[in-house]
């Protein structure tokens, strides 16, 4: 007599076999944030502790502590709450709130007056940082040598102008990577700069004041100008998506866009006064 190996809906002991079908994650079309929950986790570069990345109403990222805290123990200026995946810097009248990681990071100075409750959390995070350092999971950032200087004609973090605004990029223009999710649930490895098609132009533009600030000396800085591109193409750059994923509106994001609003005073170290390409200098000087 041969045993029957026909698959059934139960285990060998008669318990039901529960098979949960795998469903791909999707983002609603009316969602204010297209970032998947899987892409909001990370670790602080300074202390190594876990953080949650969210977008603010102005589309700038903020790192929040991964756990909710009692609102009564958190100063009002440090209370944040989430709504539809967007972080808002005020209280929502609930007994719980979120707090920026910068307030609790043991490697930074607190940005507000902390309570004994918050100091206890800072000590716990400091112990975790010490354990991660002792095990080699994180290493302190090396101090740059005094004699090493970057090439002034090749900005590592260029200033990009698009949609009538200026942003400071996190990487070189050719290394800005798409943030969309692939079919294998990994981040897209393609750059956002299309190999074929319109591209930006390096120009020498003046550094202007921002929000009523005092103007810097009359200095021309190298800017990667995308203002002459079509509006749809500038939106693609702002969303940090490659041409393939820009044509797929249903694809979600696995990381936040790395654009940082350019401030001529805070980001003065990234200002370059010479164009990186000889052929671009003629265009910028005209």
Q: State pLDDT tens for residues 207-243.
A: 865 555 555 566 889 999 999 999 999 999 999 999 9
d(C-alpha 166, C-alpha 168), whole Å: 7
pLDDT, residue 236, reads 93
Contact 200, 189 (CB under 8 A): no
- Average pLDDT value for the chain: 80
Question: For residue 5, is pLDDT > 70?
Answer: no
The residue that leads in pLDDT, 92 or 67, is 67
Query: For 30-44, 150-164, 166-180, 181-195, which range has the lowest pLDDT when averaged over its residues?
Result: 30-44
**How far is it, in rounded angstroms, from Cα 51 to Cα 233?**
32
Residue 255 has pLDDT above 80, yes or no: yes
- Asked whether 98 and 65 are in contact (CB, 8 A), the reply is yes
Structural contact between residues 239 and 257, judged by C-beta atoms closer than 8 angstroms: yes
Distance, CA of 94 to CA of 96 (rounded, Å): 5
pLDDT band at 141 (very low <50, low <70, confident <90, very high): low
């Amino acid at each position: 007599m041969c045993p029957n190996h026909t698959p059934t809906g139960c285990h060998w002991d008669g318990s039901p076999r529960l098979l949960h079908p795998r469903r791909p994650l999707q983002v609603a079309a009316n969602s204010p944030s297209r970032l998947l929950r899987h892409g909001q986790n990370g670790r602080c570069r300074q202390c190594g502790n876990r953080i949650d990345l969210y977008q603010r109403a102005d589309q700038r990222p903020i790192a929040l502590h991964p756990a909710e805290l009692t609102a009564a123990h958190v100063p009002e200026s440090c209370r944040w709450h989430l709504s539809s995946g967007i972080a808002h810097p005020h209280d929502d009248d609930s007994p719980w709130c979120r707090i920026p990681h910068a307030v609790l990071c043991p490697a930074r100075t607190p940005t507000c007056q902390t309570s004994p409750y918050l100091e206890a959390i800072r000590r716990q995070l400091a112990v975790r940082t010490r354990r991660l350092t002792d095990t080699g999971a994180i290493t302190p950032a090396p101090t740059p040598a005094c004699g090493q200087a970057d090439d002034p004609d090749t900005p590592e973090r260029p200033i990009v102008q698009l949609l009538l605004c200026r942003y400071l990029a996190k990487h070189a223009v050719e290394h800005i990577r798409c943030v969309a999710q692939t079919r294998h649930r990994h981040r897209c490895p393609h750059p956002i700069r299309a190999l074929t098609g319109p591209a930006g132009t390096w120009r020498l533009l003046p550094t202007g004041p921002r929000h009523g600030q005092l103007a810097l000396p009359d200095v021309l800085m190298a800017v990667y100008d995308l203002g002459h591109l079509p509006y749809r193409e500038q939106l693609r750059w702002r969303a940090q998506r490659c041409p393939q994923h820009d044509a797929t509106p249903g694809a979600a994001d696995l990381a936040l866009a790395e654009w940082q609003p350019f401030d001529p005073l805070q980001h003065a170290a990234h200002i370059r006064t010479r164009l990186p390409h000889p052929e671009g200098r003629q265009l910028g000087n005209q």
